[in-house]
């Protein structure tokens, strides 16, 4: 799922291309995408884009007369920009690196995983979603109050101080993994960057929030800010002024997320995981849990008392 760094770079790229431009029409393929009808999507037709902002993991496009179009990409949703090829460049204007000429809205919508295409006077913004679960959503809002109702209410860590962060973190007794990824507590953090944050902070994903010491809360606060800022800058550099097309939860340079079985960049031990449903948490046992292996729900039920408690026991089990 695109998280704060990915959505921030999306928003910056959209601002460069859409501010001051007019939405001419939108073609929506499936009824599952549109989650609200007031105002209708057509209310944005013929209106110029005045503002684009991030709301948690959502992208909000604001038009004249306070009409808002809000996209939530969820796990597999992605955006693609195609500039109008026939439109002459303005004198002195620079061509955007990596821009694509539009093949036409109907052709773009014809792609198997395409959900919608929003046609502007200078190009088309396509929304695609891999898979068949159809979790991505489009909501419309009229005015700031209606827009605020679409926010889960989590705090923005990059603009909060350590006191506010700690108060929210310890407002309920959850595991750190659950707390960091709860949008009602923290805005824009998901499965991928929570793994990276916890590794940087040297804290266990299953440590309980209300049992953390003040210095551990401060360490987690600093790790959260540093991780989000570092990856936002990395993704911004990777895009190099073009539209971000390689948006993924698994990136080269990540310390633990998506790196199960690979060496931890800090200590060299193999990265471990906890699997649950369709998600998994990646962590380094020596760096984060004092060398203790965390119980994988499926395997620990199977092995019971034979579940290994350390990396040495795990290696011995593999050799049987």
* pLDDT tens by residue, 209-226: 999 999 999 999 999 999
What residues contact 319, with CB distance under 8 A and at least 6 apart?
none
The confidence band for 307, taking pLDDT boundaries of 50, 70 and 90, is very low
Q: Where are the domains of the chain?
A: 4-148, 157-313
The confidence band for 106, taking pLDDT boundaries of 50, 70 and 90, is low
The confidence band for 168, taking pLDDT boundaries of 50, 70 and 90, is very high
Of residues 190 and 110, the one with the higher pLDDT is 190
For 74, phi then psi, to 5°, come to 55, -140
The strand order across the sheet containing 114-120 reads 23-28, 114-120, 123-129, 77-83
Of residues 102 and 213, the one with the higher pLDDT is 213
Classify 250 in phi/psi space as left (phi over 0), alpha (psi -120 to 50) or beta. Answer: beta
pLDDT at residue 174 tops 80: yes
Q: Determine contact, residues 204/198, Cβ cutoff 8 Å.
A: yes
Q: Which CATH class is domain 4-148?
A: alpha beta
pLDDT at residue 305 tops 80: no
What pLDDT is stored for residue 297 in this prediction? Answer: 57
pLDDT at residue 201 tops 80: yes
Q: Where are the beta strands (DSSP E) in 169-307?
A: 272-276, 279-283
C-alpha–C-alpha distance, residues 317 and 253, integer Å: 30
What pLDDT is stored for residue 67 in this prediction? Answer: 98
What pLDDT is stored for residue 298 in this prediction? Answer: 52
pLDDT at residue 64 tops 50: yes
pLDDT at residue 299 tops 50: no
Degrees, nearest 5: CA angle 180-186-192: 45
- Determine which of 44-53, 66-75, 172-181, 239-248 has the lowest per-residue pLDDT on average: 239-248
What pLDDT is stored for residue 110 in this prediction? Answer: 53
Of residues 111 and 83, the one with the higher pLDDT is 83
What pLDDT is stored for residue 24 in this prediction? Answer: 98
What pLDDT is stored for residue 98 in this prediction? Answer: 42
pLDDT at residue 265 tops 60: yes
Q: Determine contact, residues 162/218, Cβ cutoff 8 Å.
A: yes
Averaged pLDDT of the chain: 87
Average pLDDT over residues 260-285: 92
What pLDDT is stored for residue 316 in this prediction? Answer: 46
What pLDDT is stored for residue 246 in this prediction? Answer: 85
Q: Determine contact, residues 150/142, Cβ cutoff 8 Å.
A: no
What pLDDT is stored for residue 137 in this prediction? Answer: 96
How many CB atoms lie under 10 A from the CB of residue 209?
22
From residue 34, how far is each of 70, 184, 207 by CA, in Å?
A: 10, 23, 39
Candidates 55, 68, 52; CA nearest to 14 is 52
What pLDDT is stored for residue 17 in this prediction? Answer: 97
C-alpha–C-alpha distance, residues 16 and 96, integer Å: 10
What pLDDT is stored for residue 43 in this prediction? Answer: 98
pLDDT at residue 145 tops 90: yes
From residue 119, how far is each of 20, 32, 80, 256, 306 by CA, in Å?
A: 14, 20, 12, 39, 59
Percent with pLDDT over 70 in the chain? 82
Of residues 90 and 162, the one with the higher pLDDT is 162
Q: Determine contact, residues 24/45, Cβ cutoff 8 Å.
A: yes
What pLDDT is stored for residue 300 in this prediction? Answer: 47
- Eight-class DSSP state of 112: T
What residues contact 290, with CB distance under 8 A and at least 6 apart?
none
DSSP 56-97: TTEEEEEEGGGEEEEEE-TTTEEEEEEE-SSSPPPTTPPPPT
What pLDDT is stored for residue 12 in this prediction? Answer: 97
The confidence band for 127, taking pLDDT boundaries of 50, 70 and 90, is very high
User: Span 157-313: which CATH code?
Assistant: 1.10.8.50
pLDDT at residue 303 tops 50: no
pLDDT at residue 94 tops 60: no
What pLDDT is stored for residue 37 in this prediction? Answer: 84
């Amino acid at each position: 799922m695109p998280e704060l760094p990915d959505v921030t770079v999306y928003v910056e790229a959209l601002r460069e291309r859409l501010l001051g431009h007019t939405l001419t029409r939108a073609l929506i393929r499936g009824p599952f995408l549109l989650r609200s009808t007031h105002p209708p999507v057509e209310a944005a037709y013929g209106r110029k884009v005045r503002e684009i902002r991030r709301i948690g993991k959502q992208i909000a496009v604001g038009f004249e007369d306070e009409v808002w179009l809000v996209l939530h990409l969820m796990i597999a949703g992605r955006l693609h920009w195609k500039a109008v090829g026939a439109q002459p460049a303005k004198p002195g204007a620079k061509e955007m690196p990596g821009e694509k000429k539009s093949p036409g809205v109907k052709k773009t919508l014809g792609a198997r995983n395409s959900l919608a295409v929003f046609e502007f006077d200078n190009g088309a913004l396509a929304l695609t979603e891999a898979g068949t679960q159809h979790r991505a959503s489009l909501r419309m809002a009229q005015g700031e109050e209606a827009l605020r109702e679409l926010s889960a209410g989590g705090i923005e860590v990059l603009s909060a101080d350590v006191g506010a962060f700690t108060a929210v973190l310890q407002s309920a007794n959850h595991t750190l993994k659950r707390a960091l990824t709860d949008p009602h507590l923290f805005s824009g953090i998901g499965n991928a960057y929570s793994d990276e944050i916890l590794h940087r902070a040297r804290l266990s994903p299953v440590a309980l929030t209300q049992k953390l010491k003040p210095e551990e809360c401060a360490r987690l606060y600093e790790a959260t800010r540093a991780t989000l800022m570092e990856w936002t800058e990395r993704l911004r550099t990777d895009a190099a002024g073009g539209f971000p097309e390689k948006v993924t939860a698994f990136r080269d340079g990540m310390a633990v997320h998506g790196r199960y079985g690979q060496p931890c960049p800090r200590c060299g031990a193999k990265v471990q995981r906890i699997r649950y449903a369709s998600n998994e948490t990646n962590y380094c046992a020596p760096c984060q849990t004092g060398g203790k292996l965390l119980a994988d729900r499926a395997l620990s039920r199977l092995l019971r008392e034979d579940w290994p408690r350390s990396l040495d026991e795990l290696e011995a089990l593999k050799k049987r």
